[in-house]
Amino acid sequence: MPILMSSWVDFIKAEAVLTLGVSGDARALLESGIRKSINTVANFKTGLPAPTVAAVDNYVNYVLTAYDASTDARKLEIVIKE
């Protein structure tokens, strides 16, 4: 059982960029966190098929498109949701 997943670190860093003004690219951290999270879940041995690369890319693009069109407050909400 992971105590702190690598995807969570990216999301925490993205939040810090958006709220504390630390240096970094919140959008890139958001994308990295999403991809790491999906990859972790896809590697569980559930017997279910892993998502296709296209499905993952479509989801990531959907989230990033919403992120790009948002206010700073909404960007933070998107990061927190993920």
Check residue 50 and give its pLDDT: 87
Each residue's pLDDT tens digit, 18-42:
999 999 999 999 999 999 999 998 8
User: pTM score > 0.85 for this model?
Assistant: yes
Nearest-angstrom CA–CA distance, 17 and 8: 14
pLDDT in the model for residue 32: 98
